[in-house]
Amino acid sequence: ESTHWFVNAVGGLKTSLSPHELLSLLLKIEKKFGRKRDQTSTTHQDRTLDLDLLLYDERIMTTEDLILPHPEMHKRLFVLGPLAEIAPAAVHPTTGKTVAELREVLADGVKNDEIKRLKWSQKA
């Protein structure tokens, strides 16, 4: 549990990159923003940027460095809330449920979780 303020967001994209190539690009972006990964840590760490690959079409895969779909996404309202806004009908390939359905299951048990829509600047 972090004491620092942070924002959770999701985005979608079209790419010709393979899942591993996309993951490599995401890790390079994190590093450019100052992310330092401690592979020995067993707890969550504060980070400057955390980019996760949640879904890649309906692909299911498990390799040493990548699991698709993301193994924890269906348990996290802070992921499913914003994802349901942009892709409610997307199907989680291992559960067979839509993102909207998964979100509803988690939202039923949450009373004080606040999700706000932020407007992002178009300026570079």
Report, as residue numbers or ranges, the catalytic residues. 35, 47, 50, 52
| Contact between 15 and 22 (Cβ < 8 Å) | yes
Q: Count the helix, strand and coil residues of the chain and give each as a percent rounded to the nearest 5.
A: 30, 5, 65
Give Cβ neighbours of residue 10 (< 8 Å, ≥ 6 apart). 54, 79, 82, 83, 86
Peptide bond before residue 88 is cis, with ω within 30 degrees of 0? no
By residue count, the chain amounts to 124
- Residue 9 and residue 18: Cα distance in Å, rounded? 22
Torsions phi, psi for 29 (to 5 deg): -65, -45
